[in-house]
Amino acid sequence: MKKVRFIIKRIAQVIPMLFIVSVLAFTLSNLSAGDAAAITLRGDGVEVTKENLEAVRSEFGLDKSLPEQYLNWLKKVVKFDFGTSFQTKKPVINEIARRFPTTLKLAITATFFSLLLAIPIALISARYQNRLPDHIFRLLCTALATMPDYWVGLMLMFVFAVLLKIFPVISGSEMKNIFLPAITLSLAPMATYVRLLRNNLVEIKGFEYMKAARAKGLSETMALIKHGLKNAMVPCLTMLGTNFGILVSGSFAIETIFSWNGIGKFAVESIKLKDFPVIQCYIMVVAFTYIMLNLALDIIYVFIDPKIQLD
Amino acid sequence: MNEIPILEIKNLKTYFYQKEETIKAVDDISMKAFSGKITAIVGESGSGKSVTTLSILRLIQGNGKIIGGEILLKGEDMLKMTEKQLCSIRGKDISMIFQDPSGALNPVIKIKKQLIEAIKLHNKQISKKECIEKCIKMIKAVGLREPEKIMESYPFELSGGMCQRAMVAMALLSTPKVLIADEPTTSLDLTIQAVILDEIYKLKGKNMAIILITHDLSVVAQMADDVYIMHNGHIVESGTVFDVFDVPKHEYTKSLLRSIS
């Protein structure tokens, strides 16, 4: 019962958070330098005259005061109408809706890979603490955490797509080609998970309940898996949430390298063109996903760590 | 003492290797434990009591190492056993109760799962229903009420005394031949101490060999049959409780006894 109340309370907190995000998304994009009307005109190849500027401004509602613009915008946003993109002249929500799932797919797959790799590696490192496997993995993880993802992406592409021809060079946003970009994005988070998990596991190894688990007859490896892992995972969840937030906002470099038609690439292009509606919609969608994810994590915490305070 | 001991330690040496020096935590000790008897190991902290118990289970970690001696369980040397053999002995033939009950239970796993694990590890065929029945019976046997509620609890929802009883129940589920109780009451309230000790005393009647680690001589006087006094990794004196308490020979034992009278 307490759990249900906690969950309802957390969900209710989403609304004010979204409101704050909407204000920030709107004002910050308007504060940036450059005249959107002028850029739109140039983009269309129309001469920038005073009359033309005014025509564009009144068309997009840019001639009104900022609070007024915000309210007009918000009225539409609650109906999922983010306006028309300055660059494509199509409804923004459709443009984002087309690209966001592509990025989300990549983010989920990358997170899945990073955990899939991190858990066994951390277990092996903790089990053979300060012995050869631990040293090798530590070195590897330090290297992976420091290598820039666009470089790793190019190298992986060179080896697996160009030399070995296992994967195509152009992935074309298709699920069957997701492996290379997902692995690229998973490596750096994986390295941080490994280090955190491994250190947690090593600390937990010295706890009394691990000794008790061994005294029951569990082998060292099984004791780590059954009694250590769940305890060690709790601090990792927070980091998982942050990393996933970064992933859902899309990676411009990786999406470009692997020609993955996602939200990151689109956002960067829109920022260059000062395509406000797209930028605003992008911020809202990413923030919404991020908030929902953290909500989900909070709820998961309640089930993983029974000691969590529900009040 | 002409019966055959269930557990016999001969010349056990457990050393800890640190950068500069070697700490001889347990240095050449020998002792015997018999079925149906309580054998007490007494000593101040740092005297090597706990290292002795961990050595018996072969659970010395880190830079510690058993460098010599024999630990004979029913005549078989545990120091020569493989890790796999040891796993089948730990928790089945030899069980252990730890000093800090709330620390020895996993904080994020329900008591039920932790108890069932203790059974399933050594009896893979047992059905889940049988398992739960056995757990409930054992929880009742250690004097806890509402076993179903206890089973569904997490350790932090129970008091220290309840946790320790759950620990005792867990240790007894596989009906071990040897039970090691490492300061089982040190972290508990005085009133609960007596109750837990009483539960342990009752096990004597079930033909279990109990090794009781303590620094509390009054507990030893009440409960133990045989006693070993440890000091600085050595056993300085041993014998039946009456021998040791009535005519202490060693200077350390005398000072220990003086300190409580």
pLDDT digits (tens, 9 = 90+) for A5-14: 888 888 899 9
Best mutation target, B108, B121, B173, to test chain A (most A CBs within 10 A): B108
Cα gap A170→A256, rounded to integer Å: 10
- Answer whether B108 sits within 8 Å of A212, measured CB to CB: no
Residue A31, pLDDT > 80, answer: no
Which two structure tokens, joined as six digits, stand for B6? 């269930």
Contacts of B21 (CB under 8 A, 6+ apart): none
What CATH number was assigned to the domain covering residues B1-93+176-261?
A: 3.40.50.300
- Answer whether A217 sits within 8 Å of B106, measured CB to CB: no
A99-266 carries CATH number 3.40.50.2300:
no
Cα A265 to its chain centre, rounded Å, is 14
CB contacts, 8 Å: A310 with chain B = none
- Answer whether A219 sits within 8 Å of B156, measured CB to CB: no
Distance from CA of B254 to the nearest CA of A (A): 33
- Coil vs helix vs strand at A65: coil
- Answer whether B90 sits within 8 Å of A215, measured CB to CB: yes
The pLDDT value recorded for residue A55 is: 84
B 201-220 → A contacts, CB under 8 A: none
Q: Buried (b) or exposed (e) across B48-85, using 16+ Cβ within 10 A?
A: bbbbbbbbbbbbbeeebebeebebbbeeeebeebeeee
Cα gap B9→B48, rounded to integer Å: 14
Best mutation target, B106, B120, B158, to test chain A (most A CBs within 10 A): B106
Q: What are the sequence ranges of the domains in chain A?
A: 99-266
Asked if B98 contacts A211 with a C-beta cutoff of 8 angstroms, the reply is yes
pLDDT digits (tens, 9 = 90+) for B197-237: 888 898 888 889 999 999 888 889 989 999 999 999 999 99
Cα gap A57→A124, rounded to integer Å: 62
> What DSSP designation does B32 have?
E
Residue A166, pLDDT > 80, answer: yes
CA-wise closest residue to A295 among A44, A37, A8, A103? A8
Distance from CA of A136 to the nearest CA of B (A): 20
pTM, full prediction: 0.83
The pLDDT value recorded for residue B261 is: 64
